[in-house]
Each structure stands twice: as structure tokens, then as C-alpha cells.
Amino acid sequence: MSELSHADALWRAQETLPYLTPDLAGCGGVIKAELDDFEVEEIPAYEPSGTGEHVYLWIEKRGLDAQALLRHVAHALDLRELDIGCAGIKDARAVTRQYISVPAQCEARLAAIDTASVRVLRSVRHGNKLKTGHLRGNRFRIVLRQVSPGGLERAQAVVARLAHSGVPNYFGPQRFGRDGQTLRLGLGLLSPVRQRRLGRFMLRLALSSVQSALFNCALAARLSDNTLTKALAGEVLQVVASGGPFLVDDVTREQARILAREVVPAGPMFGLKMRLAKGDALAHELALLARYGLSLDAFAPFGKLLRGTRRALLVWPSELAVTPLGADLEVRMVLAKGSYATVALRELTKSDAASAIDAGEADSTLEDE
């Protein structure tokens, strides 16, 4: 199979991911019909201390992507974009609130940041620059419009199932770019002929897009095989509380812990530092790579940009609820960092079209890489 065919096949696989609730009808509906229909608020890993050589800015942005935000702040404060710290990427077509950090010498010029699209809501000093992944999660408020008749009851039935069973921790279509362009770019970078030069941000995004797509395929296979909550000999599990990975050496013991939500199967985010499975579990993961013309060695040249890790196959949102809002529905949830609200919405609506409206921007972070 050619490189182009591999890219097409991997992208098609993202468009046909199985549902966890295929037996429950969806409510239909459209997200992001209006800018205020999608709100994301970052939950910081810690609050700034009040002293130090950096200033943490609690920013609200409206209808602006992550790169545009960094460019704007850098221009307003006469900084390099590399001087600005950011914990995670937020949706472009949304109202989002998050921390960024800038050097303390900019403090007197912060008013220059405010525009119709960007506001500094508060500023506090701290001792270190904000780094990628330094957040606990995100709180979402989402309005679903044009829902089907009986949509509230349908959505509430799905919510009840997800609260019990969890949500497949797929990466949303935002991760792959419009029509899979970012994914195709990343797969090309991992091929034997690597000619295109990219900036660091786009390079990371393209490479992580391939990791994410392969993870989705591994998760889809477990869901289709009905092994999503089964312990398999030699596979890697993750402790829910700490995220620590370990190998299964006692299937019976770990099966009980999976059912108790103490541990969860952890799928591959391929890279040189990823914890390898053993036996048949490893063979399945290597076969997944081979299916798309890759091997573990393909990730080696990218060093720290593509370290690799493990990612939980299931997540349990907190505060998950759906309520009527006139003729529409309001969905609220809190998700751990790196998980996608659009994936939970996909289960509610039974539609990929709504979640792909803003396929150029991630509502997550790049901490997995």
C-alpha cells in the first residue's frame, strides 16, 4: 500500500469509529451554531502564588484560535511567542477562559492585550512560566440546537449510560485538521522521505495527529471486540488516580480492579518512551503500526517531540448533565485534561458532523506527546 493509500485509510478509520452506545438513539442537533453555544473554562493544576518573575493572565477569548492568541499577545507586549506560556489549546469557535503566562516586565502594558476578541480578566504573579499540560481539566457548557423530537429523553438515556460505563477516550476530529490534512502531513513526516520543514508548533501538531489516530484505531478495535473493560494478559493498564502504567501479570486480579474503576486499559501513543506491552498484546499493537506502513523505528528521529506514552481508553466525566434550554438542550461536563467534549457529544447526538464543525482546532492539550 502506498503512503497516500495509508493516509487515506487512516483518515477513513477516524470517520467510522464505533459508538459505546450504538443501541441508544441519539438526540441529533447542532453544536457551535452560535459562538456563545460552546464555552470552555480551564481548570488549573494550581493557582499562581502572587509573587515571582512571571505574570499569569486569566484570558477570555472569543472566536480566536490558539496560534492567533499567541501572535496577538506577543505583538501587544513586544514579546516572542516562545516567551508566552500556555497549558493547553482551546477551541477557536468558542468562548474560552484559560491561563497564559508572560514575563513580569510586561505587567505595566497588559491593557494593550484587550480587544473585542481577547480580554484579560485578572493577572497574578507566579514564580515559573506556565508549561504545556499544567492543568487538571476543562469545564464545558454546550448548547445543542435543532435537536430531534424527544431529544431530551434520548440524551438523558445516553448520559445515564455514560455515567456508568464511561466515555471512549477517542481524540476528536479537531486533532486531525480539516479533511484530515494535519494527519496526512504527520504521516508523511514519518515516512522514509521527509522533505517538508515546519515550525515547531505545527510539527508537534502533525506528529501528534498520527499518534492520536493510531490510538483511536486501537480503542475502536477494543470496543468492537467487546474487550474495552477486560484485562488482557501482557497489556498495559493505567492506575486511574495517578496515571501510572503497569503490565498485567494477573488477569483475574486486574479484572476486578478494572470493574472497580481503580485501573483502566491504556492504549498506545507510539514513541520511543512508550511502555511496551508483551506477548499477544504487543503483537496487536505492532500489527496496527504495520497496517499503516509504520514501525516503532519511524518515531525515533523526532526525539522529545514524540516521546510516546499511554492513554486511558475510558474516561468518566464529572458533572455530566443535560437539561432543556427552551427548544434546545444544554450539556455540561467536566473532563480531565486531554479528553474531548465533542466525543461525549458524539454519543449523545449520534452524529460526527456536529463535532467536526471546528476541525482546525483542538479542545485539548498536547501533553500526551
Write out the catalytic residue numbers: 91
The answer to whether the CB of 60 falls within 8 A of the CB of 121 is: yes
Beta bridge partners of residue 102, listed in sequence order? 55
Return the sign of the alpha-carbon dihedral for residues 62, 305, 179, 166: negative
The answer to whether the CB of 80 falls within 8 A of the CB of 121 is: no
Q: How far apart are CA 285 and CA 311, in angstroms?
A: 14
- What DSSP line would sit under 277-303, residue for residue? --HHHHHHHHHHHHHTT--GGGGGGGG
Angle between helices 3-14 and 181-189 (to 10 degrees): 140
State how far Cα 199 lies from the chain centre.
Answer: 21
Q: Kindly list the distances between the CA atom of residue 282 and the CA atoms of 222, 232, 278, 285, 295, in Å, as whole numbers in the listed order.
A: 14, 11, 5, 5, 12
Among 280, 286, 231, which Cα is nearest to 260's? Answer: 231
The answer to whether the CB of 68 falls within 8 A of the CB of 86 is: no
